[in-house]
Structure 1
């Protein structure tokens, strides 16, 4: 058993050295800031938003519904936000701000 163990350990050690050897082509250390930068045109093409197609979509992009305004009011008031997670938004809003 010992006669097999020594060559096996030696073979594993050589395999680890071969697999873990650094690539000579890869730069050492972290990449520089110049290698990370991309052109503005390329970045804008990647992150470009979809255009709104109808007047209806334009309107609701700029103006919030009354329900959305109430939800934001409840989210900004911490006791209402916590209670809304427990019993639901309509009941929590009604408890803190009255009838909607």
Structure 2
């Protein structure tokens, strides 16, 4: 037990020594925010959003279909959500909210 405790103390002492060895004011080994530069075109290549090509796609993005609205209504009501996992969405929705 004592040898394990001595080993742990020696390991912690070495870790503290290695951690404190570097001068905190020495920035030659670390990265500065000014040293990382990316050209604007390269940065925009993976950030650029794909634009909507038609009015139909724009409409679908902002308005949900009636079936999707029914799914969300069922998901927000825990008994319907649980039953839809057991017997299916259409039967669970009919049971709690009537015909669709």
The answer to whether TM tops 0.5 is: yes
1:6-48 Cα shifts (integer Å, max 9, x gaps): xxxxxxxxxxxxxxxxxxxxxxxxx8895xx887x56654233
Three-state SS of the structure 1 residue aligned to 2:64 is coil
Corresponding residue for residue 47 of structure 2: 47
Q: CA offset at residue 66 of structure 1?
A: 0.5
After the TM superposition, which segments of 4 or more aligned residues of structure 1 sit over 6 Å from their partners? none
Q: 1:32 to 1:58 in 2, by over 3 A?
A: same
Q: 1:53 to 1:87 in 2, by over 3 A?
A: same
Q: 1:81 to 1:32 in 2, by over 3 A?
A: farther
CA distance in 2, matches of 1:32, 1:78: 51
Q: CA offset at residue 51 of structure 1?
A: 1.0
Corresponding residue for residue 68 of structure 2: 68
Can you give the 5+ residue segments of structure 2 that lack an aligned partner in the other structure?
A: 1-29
Aligned residues: 68
Corresponding residue for residue 81 of structure 1: 81
How large is the RMSD of aligned CA atoms in angstroms?
2.7
Q: Which moved further from structure 2: 60-69 or 47-56?
A: 47-56
CA distance in 2, matches of 1:80, 1:44: 45
Can you give the 5+ residue segments of structure 1 that lack an aligned partner in the other structure?
A: 1-30
